Structures are given as C-alpha cells and as structure tokens.
Amino acid sequence: MVVDLSDVAALADDRSVEISLAIGELIVIVPRDFDVEIHARAGIGEAIVLGQRASGIGNELEVDAPGAPLTLDVDVALGKVEVRR
C-alpha cells in the first residue's frame, strides 16, 4: 500500500496520521517542505525512515521534530514499512 502525503499544503493546525497494515508493504511519502515527526514500527521485517534502516524483529525508528505540524505513526506487523520524501 502506498500513501502519498507529498502534496499536503501548509497546515493551520497540527495533525496526526496513524496508518497500520497487518501484512505486506507500506510506503508513506511525506512532504519535502516541512518538518514531520515520525514513529515507524515493523513487528517482523524491515523499517526504513528517511534513509535510516532496521530489520529483524521488533524494529522501531523515530524522527523527532518537536513542533512539527505533522506527526506520522506507521506500523506493519509483518513486512516492510518505509517513509520517504
């Protein structure tokens, strides 16, 4: 599944987006022009967040951006989660 958020315009209020997938590949594309706080988890498989990579069991990657207008929480139980710009 691909979720493309790259065309999101400037946000007047902070927003949180939660996306989860039981099995498979989840790719989330985030905007290039503003900060995004990211929490990504892959129970078994691979997590890739803006170039950082972890694989195996219980993978978790985060990008802290205090005050970011967008907070992204993504989770895949079995498979691959990738967040990129």
Reading across the β-sheet that carries 2-4, which strands appear in turn?
A: 2-4, 15-29, 70-84, 36-49, 52-63
**Residue 13, pLDDT score:** 80
The rounded percent of the chain whose pLDDT value lies above 90 is: 75
Each residue of 32-42: b (16+ CB within 10 Å) or e? eeeebbbbbbb
The pLDDT mean for the chain works out to 93
Domain ranges of the chain: 2-84
Nearest-Å Rg of the Cα atoms of the chain is 12
User: pTM, whole model, 2 decimals?
Assistant: 0.91
Section 26-50 average pLDDT: 94
First to last CA, the chain: 16
